[in-house]
Structure 1
Amino acid sequence: MQSRFFTLTGYPTGLPERELFSLEHQELPALGEGEVRIRNHWLSVDPYMRGRMTGMHTYIAPFELGKPMEGGAIGEVIESNDSRLKIGDTVSHMGGWRDIAQVSAEGVTPLPDIDVPEQAYLGVLGMPGMTAWTGLNIIAECKPGDNVLVSAASGAVGSLAVQLAKAKGCHVVGIAGPAHKLAWLESLGIEPVSYRDRTAQELSDAIKLASPNGIDVYFENVGGICLEAALSQLNEGARIAVCGMIDSYNAETPPPGPRNLAQLVVRKAKMQGFIVADHWASYRYFLNEVAPQVAKGSISYKETVQEGLESTPDAFLALFEGGNTGKMLVKLT
Structure 2
Amino acid sequence: MKTKQIVLASRPKGSPTLDNFRLETVDVAQIKDGEVLLEGIYYSVDPYMRGRMNDTKSYTPPFDIDQPIQGGVIAKVLESKSDKLKTGDIVLGMLPWKEKDIASEKNLKKIDTSVAPVSYYLGVLGMTGLTAYFGLMNICKPKSGETVVISGAAGAVGVVVGQIAKIQGCRVIGIAGSDEKTKSLKTEFGFDETINYKTTKDMKQAIAALCPKGVDIYFDNVGGEISDAVIANINFNARIALCGQIALYNSTEIPVGPRLQPMLLTRSVLMQGFIVSNFQNEFPEGFKHLAEWVKDGKIKFTETIENGFDQLPKALLGLFKGENMGKMIVKA
TM-score (norm 1): 0.96
How far has the Cα of 1:39 moved from its partner?
A: 0.7
Q: Deviations over 1:31-79 (max 9, x none)?
A: 1232221111100000000000001231001101111111101011112
SS of the residue 2:71 aligns to: coil
* Offset, 1:145: 2.1
- Residues 270-289 of structure 1 aligned to structure 2 (within 5 Å): 270-289=270-289
**Which residue identity is paired with 1:209?**
A
Aligned to 1:94: 94
| Partner residue, 2:190 | 189
Letter in 2 for 1:70: Q
- Which is worse superposed, 61-70 or 283-292? 283-292
CA 1:219 to 1:127, structure 2 compared with 1: closer, same or farther past 3 Å? same
Other structure's SS at 1:185 match: helix
Q: What residue number does 1:117 align with?
A: 117
Aligned positions of 1:153-232 closer than 5 A: 153-187=153-187, 188-190=189-191, 191-198=193-200, 202-232=202-232
Do residues 295 (structure 1) and 295 (structure 2) align?
Answer: yes
Structure 1: distance between partners of 2:114 and 2:195:
34
CA distance in 2, matches of 1:134, 1:116: 21
Alignment of 1:1-333 (within 5 A): 1-112=1-112, 114-187=114-187, 188-190=189-191, 191-198=193-200, 202-332=202-332
Residue 13 of structure 2: SS of its match in structure 1? coil
- Alpha-carbon distance between aligned partners in 2 of 1:19 and 1:74, rounded to the nearest angstrom: 26
- CA drift of 1:113 comes to 5.0
Query: Counterpart of 2:64 in structure 1: which amino acid?
Result: E
d(CA) in 1 for partners of 2:321 and 2:60? 24
CA contact (8 A) 1:146 1:216 kept: yes
Task: Give the distance between the partners of 2:258 and 2:319, measured in 1 at CA.
Answer: 24
CA distance in 2, matches of 1:138, 1:164: 12
Partner AA of 2:105 in structure 1: A
Segments ≥4 residues shifted beyond 6 Å: none
Give the deviation of 1:106 after TM superposition. Answer: 1.1
| Equivalent pair of 1:227/1:258 in contact (CA under 8 Å) | no
Count of residues in correspondence between the two structures: 330
Residues in 2 aligned to 1:25 and 1:257: alpha-carbon distance in whole angstroms: 46
Which residue identity is paired with 1:309? F
Deviation per residue, 1:208-239 (Å, 9 max, x gap) = 22121111111000001111111111111001
CA distance in structure 2 between the aligned counterparts of 1:295 and 1:328, rounded to whole angstroms: 22
Which runs of 5 or more residues in structure 1 are unaligned? none
Structure 2 gap ranges (5+): none
Give the Cα separation in 1 of the matches to 2:260 and 2:279: 30
After TM superposition, the structure 1 stretch with the greater mean CA deviation from structure 2, 158-167 or 107-116, is: 107-116
Indicate the percent of aligned positions where both proteins have the same amino acid: 39
| Aligned mates of 2:30, 2:134 — CA distance in 1 | 40
The Cα of 1:295 is off from its aligned counterpart by 2.7
Q: C-alpha separation between the residues in 2 aligned to 1:93 and 1:258? A: 40
Q: Is the 8 A contact 2:4 2:23 kept in 1?
A: yes
CA contact (8 A) 2:167 2:298 kept: no
1:231, 1:261 within 8 Å by CA — same for their partners in 2?
no
Alpha-carbon distance in structure 2 between the residues aligned to 1:16 and 1:153: 23
